Amino acid sequence: MSNPPNNLDEACQVLRAGGVICYPTEAVYGLGCDPDNQEAVNKLLAIKQRDASKGLILLADNYGQCLPYVDDAKIPMDKRTDLFSSWPSAITWLLPAKASTPKWLTGEHDSIAIRITAHPECKALSKLFGKPLVSTSANLSGEEPVMSIGEARHTFHEQVDCYVQGKLGGHAAPSQIKHALTGAVIRGN
């Protein structure tokens, strides 16, 4: 399946059917799927050739969409200002995961990576889908992320079920990742 540019309705149908999409994010194209569908996540990991133990990022329109995965009560009050004042943005925070959060999302970690995005297509897609999307850079593990739909199609061919064309958000590098409880920068500046 493929779709016309910015056909978010079709992209949501593909997500609901357990497919994998490729879509523009803040800095690079990303691969995404339904975080609650283990088969879809396994398909995405196989396409990317990524080790499941690393865990994955959830990208959402708003924090409320992430509450099924985050143990919100474990986020101390003194850390909340940094966390919530930084969103929406290209900052991904490692937050305490609920015990019920699937290991196919957290990998070997007890945290879940969450980003509340300001990117228009990502926000619209998450809002229309009604929950977060798995979001990982569109690349084979260890290689540079793709920067265009053409590169994505060349790399993934028919492995990806839907390509959403749109503009990248203008950031020079993938999202910064920070640990919400310690403030440590895990990736980026």
Ranges of each domain in the chain: 8-187
Average pLDDT over residues 67-89: 95
Q: Which tens digit of pLDDT belongs to each residue from 87-99?
A: 999 999 999 999 9
Q: Which tens digit of pLDDT belongs to each residue from 15-58?
A: 999 999 999 999 999 999 999 999 999 999 999 999 999 999 99
Asked whether residue 4 carries a pLDDT value surpassing 50, the answer given is no
CA angle 179, 181, 183 (to 5 degrees): 50
Chosen CATH of 8-187 out of 2.40.37.20, 3.30.300.30, 3.90.870.10, 3.40.640.10: 3.90.870.10
- Residue with the larger pLDDT of the pair 1 and 70: 70
Tell me what percent of the residues of the chain surpass a pLDDT of 90: 80
Would you place residue 6 in the very low, low, confident or very high pLDDT band (cuts 50, 70, 90)?
Answer: low
- Phi/psi at 131 (nearest 5 deg)? -165, 175
Asked whether residue 11 carries a pLDDT value surpassing 80, the answer given is yes
Asked whether residue 60 carries a pLDDT value surpassing 50, the answer given is yes
H runs (alpha helix) in the chain? 8-16, 38-48, 77-85, 103-106, 120-129, 149-156
Q: Which tens digit of pLDDT belongs to each residue from 139-148?
A: 998 899 999 9
Distance, CA of 118 to chain centre: 13
Q: Which tens digit of pLDDT belongs to each residue from 116-146?
A: 999 999 999 999 999 999 999 999 988 999 9
- Residue with the larger pLDDT of the pair 173 and 168: 168
